[in-house]
Amino acid sequence: MNFNYPIAVMMTLHFIITTTTTYGKYADDIFTIIKAKFALQQEPLLKLKSFQLTAVKLLDQNKLSESTKLDSVGRAQYKIEQIDAFYDNSYVYHLVDTLLMEANRQLVLIGREYINENIVWMCYYSNDKLVYSKQVYYDNAEGNYLLESKLEKQNLILNSDDVNEGKRTVRFKINNRLEWKPIPLVKKKQ
């Protein structure tokens, strides 16, 4: 038998409050809310495949060009025209990796390869509909902007290097609903 200590404590408190106080009629509502909160905290951890998208891995080691090319059927299936605002038939699109595959939802990396610009988007599909696509890699021949990323244990790190704005790091936690939640930067005390 699987014993859940927080639920056992809540049930004991619920019994005491409902049988010994005038707040008993409100106890059911309060404990329903508390129980729901405990259930959320105890959600199983989402198992996303880790990745690291860098210029070295994607270009120098050919991870982008050697990944699965999307033909016209694949482009339609993955809704490429919705993902890429500058869609063009001359671009080569790839299924770079699958991060999560479930019955009704999937999270994948879709890449665009072109002679002077490469992009990778993280795309979330639910019931075959595109929910979002977010850029997680970018490079161009001019070298004025680079975006690289790493995903490990639901933690996504985006590192950008912009010739005008300098280097920047942004962190996100991807929750069980596949939403990106910002992780605040903790400043070190000096």
- Output the 3-class SS for 80-124: HHHHCCCCCCCCEEEEEEEEEECCCEEEEEEEEEECCEEEEEEEE
pLDDT tens for residues 124-172?
Answer: 999 999 999 999 999 998 889 999 999 998 999 999 999 999 999 999 9
* Furthest-apart CA atoms within the chain: distance in Å: 75
The mean pLDDT of 81-96, rounded to a whole number, is 95
pTM score, whole prediction: 0.75
Three-state secondary structure call for residue 136: strand
pLDDT tens for residues 62-75?
Answer: 899 999 999 999 99
**Percent of the chain scored above 70 by pLDDT?**
74
Q: Kindly state the DSSP code that residue 44 receives in the 8-state scheme.
A: P
- Chain mean pLDDT for the chain: 85
Q: Are strands 117-126 and 145-152 parallel, antiparallel or unpaired?
A: unpaired
| Sequence-ordered list of residues with C-beta below 8 angstroms from that of 53, at least 6 positions apart, any chain | 109, 120, 136, 137, 148, 149, 150
Q: What is the pLDDT of residue 146?
A: 96
pLDDT tens for residues 91-105?
Answer: 999 999 999 999 999
Predicted confidence (pLDDT) at residue 188 exceeds the cutoff of 70: no
Q: Are strands 180-182 and 51-53 parallel, antiparallel or unpaired?
A: unpaired
Q: Which residues pair with 122 in a beta bridge?
A: 109, 134
Higher-confidence residue of 164 and 46: namely 164
Q: What is the pLDDT of residue 1?
A: 45
Q: Which residues of 44-60 are buried (b: 16+ CB within 10 A; e: fewer)?
A: eebebeebebbeeebee
Q: How far is CA 190 from CA 21, 79, 170, 187, in A?
A: 51, 49, 22, 9
What whole-number distance in Å separates Cα of residue 72 and Cα of residue 168? 36
